[in-house]
Amino acid sequence: MDPIKPSPADSVSVVASLRQLIMDGHFPPGTRLGEEAVAEALGVSRTPIRLAFRTLEQEGLLEKTGKRGLVVRDFSEADVLCALEVRGVLEGLAARRLAERGLDAALRERLQACLDEGERVLAPGTLQLESVAAWSALNDSFHNTIVGAAGSQVIGDAITRNNHLPFASAGSIQIDKLALDREYQKLRVAQLQHQLVFDALLRGESARVEMLMREHAYIGLRYGPLLGAAGLGGLRP
């Protein structure tokens, strides 16, 4: 079997590679993982795989079955909803702290650059598949900039851990290729919410920006049905 993708054999990169394969569905929920098969798939030795298994078990992506076996954990819709709600609460807290601290010129420029890039991505008036990666990157940057500037390692660490759950991170995006017009509308709403968050931060409106960030976390879940989507399909904000 050819390796899925070349990857250095250090433990950090192996953990990241295996985590991404699980998130992408290469190893579906309920799949029993063996050291030898996964090592062959990633093109590495079994030693970093053992470390990766332990790390991902601690994160909750893998769970024990029997005495020594591990399977990919099955996440329900309720699990995903809860993870997104947790992110909204944590990012809302970070945004509130940042509004209370105030934004310096460099921070304003970074956030404005994210907004400008968002307008560039959406400028064609339709969603181009090649633009999805660009949106994911700018969205991740917008959220991470706010969290990083909040001045709390505790909040940052909590968000990092929560982001390991499926669809929980700001950069996690699922696009329905058969409904690109609907997906474009979701992006438009997300872009507007980014602008509102930025405006509240500039004005130092701490309570308002906290609620805006909480609401923003629900765009892919609560707004979907309003635009013709169902369930968990579509964009994660």
Overall fold of domain 77-227: Four Helix Bundle (Hemerythrin (Met), subunit A) (1.20.120)
pLDDT tens column, 84-100: 899 999 999 999 999 99
Query: What's the mean pLDDT in 70-80?
Result: 85
* The pLDDT value given to residue 74: 86
CATH architecture of 11-72: Orthogonal Bundle (1.10)
Domain boundaries, the chain: 11-72, 77-227
Please give the C-alpha separations between residue 230 and each of 29, 80, 176, 219, 220, in angstroms, as whole numbers. 21, 15, 11, 13, 10
Query: What's the mean pLDDT in 8-20?
Result: 75
Using 50, 70 and 90 to split pLDDT, how confident is the model at 230? Answer: very low
Predicted TM-score of the model (pTM): 0.73
Token duo for residue 91: 């990012």
d(CA 221, CA 156): 23
d(CA 55, CA 219): 30
Mean pLDDT, the chain, rounded, equals: 85
CB 111 within 8 A of CB 142: yes
> C-alpha 89: how far from its chain's center?
15
